[in-house]
Amino acid sequence: MSDFSLEGKTAVITGGASGIGKAIAQKFASKGAHVCVLEINKDAAENAVEEIINAGGKASAYQCNVAHQDEVVSVINKIAAQNAIDILINNAGIAHVGNIEGTAVEDLDRLYQVNIKGVYNCMYACVSQMKNKQGGVILNMASIASSVGISDRFAYSMTKGAVLTMTYSVAKDYIDSGIRCNSISPARIHTPFVDGFIAKNYPGQEEEMFEKLSKTQPIGRMGKPEEVANLALYLCSDEASFITGTDFPIDGGFIKLNG
């Protein structure tokens, strides 16, 4: 087998039809994994899976709202009945811009349902499956906002801080079951979400704002989804078998070099 092979492994990826999640799904499929794309939008999931299959990979689409535990458990059980789940990528998430005064209780609840409860639901459903086979890898998508203060990201920072500490807790509790649990903390990554955010909030200033946001990273540009996918591949491969309970910033120097 080649280095970082995922041949014969089954990987569940939430939010796997766009941005970072899609890049991870494509990368894992290219390394031999059977990728299960979980998305709230069925058409988006099926389109992403079709692309993977057309490229020679193995993939399946599942419609699932990660905020609803009954849906998550049903889908995970359906997948596990066909193939033991080796890898869970908790990538699905939503954002909100605003400080505490600009955060309504509805905003807080909306982010909690997806970014915290959604991660909990997926880990809750997968851990028992992984325990049964005495092994598995969970990778959660945290954020630089988990570790440092970011202006006008009150609710988002709250949820990503929770993702980080849930990662530590699960890594500690299930180390004897052969389950590794880590997280990745990206800075600003150039995804369709970023383009949509700029277009919505800065009409007519798209190019200027893209450049400005890019330069908030000390390295001088935004990250690429493929770069996050490469890190995810390493952490979920057997080559990373000695790594658990750790967060990995991929941030162009943001956390350490912005002081």
**DSSP structure class, residue 220:** S
Alpha carbons 71 and 53: distance in angstroms, whole number: 25
CB-based contact 34:60 (threshold 8 Å): yes
Which of 156, 174, 202, 234 is labelled catalytic?
156
The burial class, CB within 10 Å (0-12 / 13-18 / 19+), for 255 is middle
- Measure CA of the first residue to CA of the last residue in the chain; give whole Å: 43
174 catalytic? Reply is no
Alpha carbons 187 and 222: distance in angstroms, whole number: 8
CB-based contact 145:158 (threshold 8 Å): no
Residues annotated catalytic, as ranges: 156
